Amino acid sequence: MIVFDLEWNSGLYDRIRLDEILQIGAVKVRQPGGPIVDAFNAYIRPQVHKRYSPAAAALPDLALSQAAQLDFPAALEAFLDWCGEDAVFGTWGSGDLTALRQNQTYWKLPDRLPKTYVDLQLAFGRALGCGDNLSLEWAAQYVGAPDIFDPHNALYDAVYTWMAGRLLTAEELEGAVREPGVGGKVKNTLPRRANPWQGPFESLDRALNNRGCRKMVCPRCGAAQRVTQWHRGEDGSYYSRLSCVQCGRGYVLRLELTKDRKKRLWANATVGRANGQRGAAYDLAAQTPPIPCKGQRRRRRSRRPKAAENRAEAAV
């Protein structure tokens, strides 16, 4: 099995809708759950987009891609030659293989990619009995992966994906075999997320000050607390940074907002480590003025004595 991961620039500022791949990282195993026998890593020189999205600009190895000599056609050929014939691909979710096919089509290259792949994110979520949209960072922490690699490096993320996949049985892997572009989307009014959407809200102010949206639960120790202010990011989401009151680990809470088909506002809050891509997104957002949280007052129950209520009803 070839377990691979990609890093790319989504090109938010260009008319060309292409997730331009900047790095391909992969590990090779003889059998599912087996040890790594080889690794592949290639940095790719960007040629399509002139500007970087916030996520791409925060990549730890962006400079290596900018200085690379490989273009995408050469990198893909080297990667597929390294994979060998009849290779089985495994990825964390459907996004990486979709981006790989998108770049292959853009450069008008022969189709040498597998027709199916193993969605390790889907298999892992099913094995735990939870959603199929778990983050790789959360899965790595769950399986006890050592916190020694910077996130959002394609090779390191491929290693973490392999570590998460080692817990899965052959039957669980077989049940997560998918075709590119099939089974990855569900016709819901809201995008699929591991955490439930909250709402609907009457206004943006209501969403930003909602107690549930402001709640942060530490993935490590379970301590809960609430943020006191937001910063609006370039992607339209809202960010807040805080440290766990018990273990002291730093986190960033991201509040994503969307509207359903009826134009109602919904919110989805996710917690991430205050480093790497999530930390960089917060640093950009922190350049905007803070939006203090006002909280929401609960309705006070009437303290009118019961006897007084009975007398009032009798008088009527």
Q: What is the pLDDT along the chain (316 residues), one digit of tens a residue?
A: 999 999 999 877 778 889 999 999 999 998 877 899 999 999 999 999 988 988 888 898 999 999 999 999 999 999 999 999 878 999 998 889 999 999 999 999 999 998 889 999 989 988 887 766 788 888 888 888 887 777 789 999 999 999 999 888 888 888 888 887 533 333 345 676 667 788 888 899 999 999 889 988 888 888 889 999 999 998 889 999 999 888 888 999 999 998 877 778 889 898 888 877 788 889 999 999 999 998 655 445 545 555 555 554 555 4
242: Cβ–Cβ under 8 A, 6 or more apart, which residues?
216, 225, 227, 250, 251, 253
The pTM (predicted TM-score) of the whole model is: 0.60
10: Cβ–Cβ under 8 A, 6 or more apart, which residues?
19, 20, 53, 55, 56
Beta strand 177-178 with 250-259 is unpaired
Q: Which CATH number fits domain 2-178: 3.60.20.10, 3.40.50.970, 3.90.226.10, 3.30.420.10?
A: 3.30.420.10
User: What are the extents of the domains in the chain?
Assistant: 2-178, 198-292
